[in-house]
Amino acid sequence: MKVSSKLAALGLVLAVAACTNNSPFAAGGGAGGAGANGSVVPGSPSDPRSPAYFQQAVGDRVLFPVNESTLTDAAKTTLQAQADWLLQNTDYAARIEGHADEQGTREYNLALGARRANAAREFLISRGVAGNRITTVSYGKERPIEICSQEACYAKNRRAVTVLVANVTG
Amino acid sequence: MMRFLTSIFLGAALMAAPAAAQNTPLRIEITEGVIEPLPFAAPDFVPDTPAAAQYATQIARVVAADLTGTGLFREIPANAYISQVSSFDAPVQFADWKAINAQALVTGGVSVSGNTLTVRFRIWDVFSDTELGNGLQFTGTTDGWRRMAHKVADQVYSRITGEGGYFDSRVVFVSESGPKNERRKRLAIMDYDGANVQYLTDSSSIVLAPRFSPAGDRVLYTSYESGTPRIYVLDVGAVQRNVLPTQEGTMSFAPRFSPDGRNVLYSLARGGNTDLYLMDINSGQSRQLTNAPSIETAPSYSPNGSQIVFESDRSGTPQLYIMPANGGEPRKISSGKGRYGTPVWSPRGDLIAFTKQSQGRFHIGVMRTDGSEERLLTASFLDEGPTWAPNGRVIMFTRESPGAEGRATLYSVDITGRNLRPVRTPDGASDPAWSPLQK
């Protein structure tokens, strides 16, 4: 999780850098949580319009069974929440990153990750998110977040992660 | 990059040697699965001048290492020698080499003039009291001395086994460093035995699965440089790369040159579906070869370019298929239980090497092109990505160890499953691709 958080944070920085001025997600981004007086700190996980909120409260990732790209009920619930969030926060676009566990060849896992990312993308589109706001990429087995060679780790590595980026589609 | 000229005086035998006896016992049949390696001696080559001395010793050592590395030969150590070879042209004392059971003897002479190195050598069938073939002479530059040694060893290997050599070849691979969840990858190239490692890219983006052109002068690979997997072609000598054209919103990967070097066969993923495509490398025009909702990837040409073997999960699990090079109905060739991937056609055309995943283990295996006679050569937590030596008798592949400290290394194994051994690299290493024999 640490690594993916860093990557997401980096994505946020890039998104900020890509935007010119006074965009809603350019503010804040420092220490998370509510302010001392209980108010919402913009950009913190308590700010429902923040990428941090999307990542933690909505849930930025869905997991897949071994060798599969079909969405589980839990995955559909998460993606529905992602779709709702994206429909309300049109300053953002999404890049969905598909991943596989290490059991499988490099080439097949690249293709499998592409299937998984696309399954998530198709679901978001079916819930009303414009297709031109969602790109996909597969990392195959190149970017595991958990490094043990047991199912407990594999289960977390078989994932599609929705990364927020600046919406440049207008 | 490597300025190296080698002249081979094939016709010009160094002296009129007696014809080899017809009943020479000096023969290894690789396909038989050799159990007892053939004993040989490779005394230090004889320097003509003091400047040649260091090369004379080193070249003999590399020749011996090449031969013993095959598992088919066993070197008799120098401290067992009865005779010393003090002159390249002096008659061989066969009795002294028979006495220590050296069935083959390699003798050589080295001379240096400026930065030009000349190596002369002969191969002796000790128990027949004859020379095996004719003596040869190679000329090159001093900094190419290892290549000359590999060329000598290729001749010895070739004359005794009847197979083509493979020592004067290179391997392009992915050099890996860092922990498993933050692995850094860069392209590297080295001699087949791990010497002369040179890096071809930095590690700022993921690079995968390099493949040599038929002439060995270019390398195709996949890189995330643009943020999404795309195929690059790299000029090995100039270390210059170009990205191949692609279509917006797609990923391209698993490239391979056609045998004529003009086309690139590859996988393209669009909307979650991966199919095979063929690109004319000059025009950049691509056309689709497969059109199925399943995954089609890891394509490899037959040596004559008429057929393509690839991996597809159209039957529900990844299996191996062969189709005509222009597309058309694929024929399934894998039939065992398990998941098959990364098929690679042997340069001899007779076998297909593959990765097989079965019951939680990974194997490198070979099968005939009709899918018969499947043989698994290795077994481990994770073996994958075979590549063929230029003579089609040895396979190199990636082996990854399990767990948080897991690390990728290169291994080689011969097609009988013998002589499994690690290939030494400075860091972790994966995705090897063997070059053709150098010219």
A2-22+44-166: which CATH topology? 60s Ribosomal Protein L30; Chain: A; (3.30.1330)
pLDDT digits (tens, 9 = 90+) for A141-159: 999 999 999 999 999 999 9
DSSP tag of B403: S
Q: A67 to chain B: which residues are within 8 Å by CB?
A: 317
Residue A21: the pLDDT is 36
Residue A31: the pLDDT is 39
Strands (DSSP E) found in B194-262? 198-199, 207-212, 218-223, 230-235, 240-243, 250-257
Tokens of B90: 């002096």
User: Which sequence spans correspond to the domains of chain B?
Assistant: 7-161, 170-434
Chain A contact probe: residue of B225, B226, B253, B399 with most A CBs at under 10 A: B253
- Cβ distance A137 to B180 less than 8 Å, yes or no, reads no
pLDDT digits (tens, 9 = 90+) for A109-127: 999 999 999 999 999 999 9
Chain B contact probe: residue of A64, A107, A122 with most B CBs at under 10 A: A107
Residue B32: the pLDDT is 59
User: Which sequence spans correspond to the domains of chain A?
Assistant: 2-22+44-166
pLDDT digits (tens, 9 = 90+) for B178-189: 999 999 999 999
Tokens of B217: 């002068």
φ/ψ bin of B239: left (φ > 0), alpha (ψ from -120 to 50), beta (otherwise): left
Chain B contact probe: residue of A7, A69, A110, A161 with most B CBs at under 10 A: A110
Instruction: Identify the band that residue A43 occupies on the pLDDT scale cut at 50, 70 and 90.
Output: confident
- Cβ distance B269 to A108 less than 8 Å, yes or no, reads no
A165 touches chain B (CB under 8 A): no
Tokens of B8: 């081979």
CATH 2.120.10.30 is the classification of domain B170-434: yes
The distance of A74 to chain B (nearest Cα, Å) reads 21
Residue A40: the pLDDT is 79
Predicted complex: ipTM over 0.85:
yes
Q: In chain B, which residues have pLDDT < 50?
A: 1-24
Q: What is B7-161's CATH number, 2.30.40.10, 3.40.640.10, 3.30.450.20, 3.40.50.10070?
A: 3.40.50.10070
A14 has a pLDDT exceeding 50: no
- Any idea what the Cα angle at residue A121 is, between residues A116 and A124, rounded to 5°? 135
Q: B274 to chain A: which residues are within 8 Å by CB?
A: 110-111, 114-115
